[in-house]
Amino acid sequence: MTAERKKLARLNRLEKLRAIAKQTAATEAAQAESTLAQLRNLSDRTRNLAAGYAARRDAPDGASLHQVGRFVDGMRTLTRTTDGDALRAQAIADAKQQLLVEAERRRAAIEDRATAQARVVASKAQEPALGGKRASGTELD
**pLDDT 10s per residue in the chain (141 long)?**
688 889 999 999 999 999 999 999 999 999 999 999 999 999 999 999 989 988 888 888 888 888 988 999 999 999 999 999 999 999 999 999 999 999 999 999 999 999 999 998 888 877 666 555 566 666 665
In whole angstroms, how far apart are CA 8 and each of 12, 86, 101, 110, 139?
6, 45, 25, 11, 43
SS (H, E, C) 76-108: HHHHHHHHHHHHHHHHHHHHHHHHHHHHHHHHH
Query: How high is the pLDDT of residue 65?
Result: 85
Q: What is the pLDDT of residue 35?
A: 96
What pLDDT sits at residue 54? 86
What is the distance between the alpha carbons of residues 57 and 135, in angstroms, rounded to a whole number?
A: 109
Q: Of 6, 1, 24, 16, whose CA–CA distance to 111 is shortest?
A: 16
